[in-house]
Structure 1
Amino acid sequence: MSDFKRSVRLLYTGQSPRARNFRYGLIAFDSLTIIYFIVTAAIPATSATIALNTLFGVLILLDLCARFWISDNPRRECLQIYTLADLVVVASLLLAPLFSVNLGFLRVLRGLRLIHAYHLLRDLRRESPFFRRHEDAILAAVNLFVFIFVTSSLVFVVGFDEQSGVAGYVDAIYFTVATLTTTGFGDITMTTAGGKLLSVFIMVVGVALFLQLARAVFQPSKVRYKCPRCGLNRHDPDAVHCKHCGKTLKIETEGISGA
Structure 2
Amino acid sequence: MTTDTAPDTSAPKPEGWRLRARLRALYHGSSQTAVRFRLGVLIIDLIIVGFFIAAPLLKEGGLVFYVIDYVIAAILALDLAARALCYSDIKDWLKKPIVWMDLFILATLLFPAWLFNLGFLRVLRLWTLVNSDFFWRTIGRRYDDTRIEDQVKALTALVTFIFVATGFVYTSFVGTYEGISGYIDALYFTVTSLTTTGYGDILLPGNWGRIVSIVIMLTGVTLFVRLGQTLLRPHKVRFPCDRCGLQVHDPDAVHCKACGNLLCIPDEGHH
Give the TM-score category using the shorter length.
0.7 to 0.9
Identity over the aligned pairs, expressed in percent?
35
Which residue of structure 2 aligns with residue 14 of structure 1? 29
C-alpha change, 1:69 and 1:151, in structure 2 (3 Å) is: same
After TM superposition, give the deviation of residue 95 of structure 1 in Å: 0.6
Question: In the TM superposition, what are the counterparts of 1:240-251 in structure 2 within 5 Å?
Answer: 240-245=254-259, 246-251=261-266
Cα deviation digits, residues 59-104 of structure 1 (max 9, x gap): 11111122222224434433434322211211111111345x5443
Question: In the TM superposition, what are the counterparts of 1:93-172 in structure 2 within 5 Å?
Answer: 93-98=109-114, 102-128=117-143, 132-161=146-175, 168-172=182-186
Contact (CA 8 Å) 2:154, 2:227: kept in 1 or not? yes
After TM superposition, give the deviation of residue 200 of structure 1 in Å: 2.1
**C-alpha separation in 1, matches of 2:208 and 2:93:** 34
Which residue of structure 1 aligns with residue 100 of structure 2? 84
- Larger Rg over CA atoms: 2
Which residue of structure 1 aligns with residue 73 of structure 2? 57
Q: TM-score, normalised by structure 2?
A: 0.83
Which residue of structure 1 aligns with residue 213 of structure 2? 199
Give the superposed CA RMSD.
Answer: 2.5
After TM superposition, give the deviation of residue 140 of structure 1 in Å: 0.2
The gaps in structure 1 that reach 5 residues or longer are none
Task: Give the structure, 1 or 2, with the largest relative contact order (CA under 8 Å, sep 6 or more).
Answer: 1
Contact (CA 8 Å) 1:30, 1:113: kept in 2 or not? no
The gaps in structure 2 that reach 5 residues or longer are 1-15
Q: Which of 211, 221, 225 lines up with 2:225 in the alignment?
A: 211
Question: In the TM superposition, what are the counterparts of 1:171-182 in structure 2 within 5 Å?
Answer: 171-182=185-196
Q: Which of 49, 54, 61 lines up with 1:39 in the alignment?
A: 54
After TM superposition, give the deviation of residue 252 of structure 1 in Å: 4.3
C-alpha change, 1:161 and 1:249, in structure 2 (3 Å) is: farther
Aligned length: 251
**C-alpha separation in 1, matches of 2:26 and 2:238:** 25
Which residue of structure 2 aligns with residue 71 of structure 1? 87
C-alpha change, 1:143 and 1:2, in structure 2 (3 Å) is: same
Cα deviation digits, residues 197-241 of structure 1 (max 9, x gap): 222221222221111111111111222222333222212233333
Contact (CA 8 Å) 1:71, 1:77: kept in 2 or not? yes
